[in-house]
């Protein structure tokens, strides 16, 4: 294979500047950079990147159109397959999806597909390109979508294309699910999320905010009023370690911490009335995307030192490679092979330290699986002002407790068949609610596929 040109680097805020603000870290490609990067694509006859994308964007054609400066055409092409390219281009784990499958990956430098997707989405937005959404306005069928995260919004967008009358019910006062309340501004600016949702509303989708299905509107009412229902309620309940001291003040779940920072705009205090004081030294437990977001947010909120505590090695951290790198560049410290034993409080009930134990990876079960085990006698104390637990999330039991007829597994994950239908006819589910905590693009893909199943169901 001929030698491949290196990727066009992304210009971004320097670590020293960005830790003092909440603005986007990357500046995004300009037109010339995008053209140069898209030209790196060698236009494979059978592009291996496309099947690796959960919403199967026509990546090769997108690259060709960008390389020819046909930006409008590239934007419309991408929007055909993905209603939310500005979001997915920024937060998808591309290194494990399209870019991981790109033929140039073998030489270590795949095409920057995600950054090109974000570029073209921003270009379409900045040039106010109109996208024809409704393909068939002759249906009188009504669809209820529960939850306005990526799964619900993608299902709504696709159902609207079929011409259905679509209403999305959302418990919070803002739509977007984790895109709005979880992922911080410096990774996914909220005006971008708001704009993609605005386009959906302009296409005719109705948004009912502050509506909790199972509380101020019952599931029975939905079944009576709508021809089909899609459940995209996510898996937003935090998981805890279950150790001593978790109830102390200033021990947060990452969800609570990020909701305060993002949705309640604590970083704009006192302009927004959400105080948040992280103190000097913060410990974040876990090493996934959520942990990186919490750690980087704490740094921007004024913490002098932020420590990631992880029971496995750094290499095993589940966070996206780019997010981990950004966090380390910003000065966040990574403590591998350590695990909390208990949180220690002061006389006023505030956390003041963590007792940690060192861990080692031990082969277990004969299959070579390495399991972290505590090393006896290796305990030590770390002084802290704030602890944030980022150990993953599980389905929220509130909705499920009000709808016991919906079949779930013992973790509360909604069971669906190959057509995304639950055990109740006409009731579909997708995203984290039916897969457990996963990714934005997986939720987008499932919402879209569920909409197609709804179409088949309603049209025989
Ligand atoms: P959600 O986004 O959770 O949306 C569910 C919605 O349903 C919420 O708005 C909720 O309020 C609403 N709801 C729940 N119950 C009801 C009810 N009874 N009535 C009405 N509304 C209800 N994935 C990536 O791919 N890349 C990343 O970088 C990434 N970073 C992440 C960072 C954080 C902090 C978190 C928490 C997750 C991250 N993820 C990331 C995971 C990703 O965000 C989720 O997999 C995705 O949002 C799931 O989409 P969803 O629509 O299924 O659920
Ligand atoms: Fe282009 Fe890589 Fe996709 Fe091939 S696999 S079409 S080189 S982006």
Predicted local distance difference test score (pLDDT) of residue 314: 95
Residue-level pLDDT at 443: 96
Q: In this predicted model, what pLDDT tens digit does every residue of 141-152 receive, in sequence order?
A: 999 999 999 999
Digit-coded pLDDT (tens) for 233-272: 999 899 999 999 999 999 999 999 999 888 777 777 777 7
Any ligand 2 atom below 6 A from CB of 207 = no
Which numbered atom of ligand 2 lies nearest the CA of 50? 3
Which ligand gives the minimal distance to the CA of 150?
A: 1
State the ligand closest to the CA atom of 94: 1
Q: What is the pLDDT of residue 134?
A: 60
Looking at the domain covering 15-126, what would its CATH class be?
A: mainly alpha
Alpha helices in 52-108 (DSSP H): 59-67, 71-81, 85-91, 98-101
| Atom of ligand 1 minimally distant from the CA of 294 | 34
pLDDT at 266: 72
Per-residue model confidence (pLDDT) at position 1:
53
> Of 439, 428, 437, which Cα lies nearest the Cα of 145?
428
SS (H, E, C) 335-374: ECCEEEEEEEECCCCEEEEEEEEEEEEEEECCCCEEEEEE
- Whole-number Å distance between alpha carbons of 419 and 458: 13
Residue 184 beta carbon below 6 angstroms from any ligand 1 atom? no
Query: How confident is the model at residue 49, as a pLDDT?
Result: 96
pLDDT the model gives residue 374: 97
Question: What architecture is domain 240-391?
Answer: 3-Layer(bba) Sandwich (3.50)
Average pLDDT, the chain: 93
| Ligand 2 in reach of 47 Cβ (< 6 A) | yes
Q: Which ligand is nearest to the CA of 445?
A: 1
Which tokens go with 220? Answer: 């029975």
- Give the pLDDT confidence score for residue 459 in this predicted structure: 87
At residue 449, the pLDDT reads: 96
Check if CATH label 3.50.50.60 holds for domain 138-236+394-458: yes
Give the integer Cα–Cα distance in Å for 399 and 148. 14
Q: Which atom of ligand 1 is nearest to the CA of 152?
A: 51
Instruction: Determine the Cα–Cα distance for residues 198 and 178; give it in Å rounded to an integer.
Output: 17
* Identical fold, 138-236+394-458 and 240-391: yes
> Which helix H or strand E contains 386, and what residues bound it?
strand 386-389
Q: What's the CA gap between 341 and 337, in Å, rounded?
A: 13
CA of 288 to the centre of ligand 1 (A): 15
Q: pTM for the full model?
A: 0.92
For the Cβ of 102 lying below 6 angstroms from any atom of ligand 2, the answer is: yes
Parse the chain into domains and list their residue ranges.
15-126, 138-236+394-458, 240-391
pLDDT value at residue 385: 97
Q: Quote the CA–CA distance of 296 and 396 in Å, as a whole number.
A: 26
For ligand 2, atom 2, name the residue with the nearest CA: 102
Distance 167 CA to ligand 1 centre (A): 18
Residue 138 has what pLDDT?
Answer: 61
- Token pair of 142, please? 């009504």
- DSSP designation for 262: I
The one-character DSSP state at 108 is T
pLDDT per residue of the chain (460 residues) written in tens, 0 to 9: 567 789 999 999 999 999 999 999 999 999 999 999 999 999 999 999 999 999 999 999 999 999 999 999 999 999 999 989 999 999 999 988 999 999 999 887 999 999 999 999 999 999 999 887 666 666 789 999 999 999 999 999 999 989 999 999 999 999 999 999 999 999 999 999 999 999 899 989 999 999 999 988 999 999 999 999 999 999 989 999 999 999 999 999 999 999 988 877 777 777 777 777 788 999 999 999 999 999 999 999 999 999 999 999 999 999 988 899 999 999 999 999 999 999 999 999 999 999 999 999 998 866 667 899 999 999 999 999 999 999 999 998 888 888 889 999 988 999 999 999 999 999 999 999 999 999 999 999 999 999 999 999 998 7
């Amino acid at each position: 294979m001929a030698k491949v040109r290196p990727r066009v680097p992304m210009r971004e805020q320097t670590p020293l500047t960005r830790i003092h603000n909440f603005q986007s870290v990357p500046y995004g490609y300009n037109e010339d950079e995008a053209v140069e990067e898209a030209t790196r694509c060698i236009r494979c006859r059978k592009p291996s990147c496309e099947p690796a994308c959960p919403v199967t964007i026509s990546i090769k054609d997108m690259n060709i159109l960008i390389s020819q400066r046909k930006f409008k055409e590239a934007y419309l092409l991408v929007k055909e397959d993905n209603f939310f390219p500005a979001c997915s281009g920024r937060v998808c784990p591309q290194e494990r999806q399209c870019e991981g499958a790109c033929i140039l990956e073998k030489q270590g430098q795949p095409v920057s597909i995600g950054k090109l997707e974000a570029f073209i989405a921003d270009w379409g937005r900045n040039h106010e390109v109109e996208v024809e959404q409704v393909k068939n306005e002759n249906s009188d069928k009504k669809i209820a979508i529960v939850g306005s995260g990526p799964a619900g919004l993608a299902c709504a967008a696709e159902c609207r294309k079929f011409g259905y009358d679509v209403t999305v019910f959302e418990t919070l006062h803002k739509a977007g699910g984790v895109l709005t309340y979880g992922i911080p501004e410096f990774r996914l600016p909220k005006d971008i999320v708001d704009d993609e949702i605005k386009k959906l509303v302009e296409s005719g989708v109705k948004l009912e905010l502050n509506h909790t299905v199972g509380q101020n509107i019952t599931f029975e009412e939905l079944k009576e009023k709508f021809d089909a229902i899609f459940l995209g309620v996510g898996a937003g309940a935090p998981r805890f370690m279950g150790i001593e001291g978790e109830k102390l003040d200033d021990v947060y779940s990452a969800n609570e911490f990020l909701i305060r920072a993002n949705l309640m705009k604590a970083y704009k205090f006192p302009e927004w009335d959400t105080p948040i004081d992280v103190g000097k030294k913060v410990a974040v437990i876990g090493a996934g995307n959520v942990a990186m977001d919490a750690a980087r947010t704490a740094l921007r909120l004024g913490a002098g030192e932020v420590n990631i505590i992880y029971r496995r090695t750094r290499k095993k951290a589940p966070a996206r490679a780019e997010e981990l790198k950004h966090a380390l560049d910003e000065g966040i410290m990574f403590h591998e092979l350590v695990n909390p034993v208990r949180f220690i409080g002061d006389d006023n009930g505030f956390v003041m330290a963590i007792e940690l134990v060192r861990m080692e990876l031990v082969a277990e079960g004969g299959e070579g699986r390495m399991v972290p085990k505590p090393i006896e006698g290796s305990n030590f104390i770390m002084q802290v002002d704030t602890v944030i637990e980022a150990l993953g999330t599980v389905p929220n039991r509130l909705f499920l407790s009000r709808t016991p007829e919906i079949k779930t597994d013992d973790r509360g994950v909604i069971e669906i068949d190959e057509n995304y239908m639950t055990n109740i006819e006409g009731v579909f589910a997708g995203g984290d609610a039916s897969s457990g905590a996963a990714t934005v693009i997986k939720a987008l893909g499932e919402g879209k596929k569920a909409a197609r199943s709804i179409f088949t169901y309603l049209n025989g």
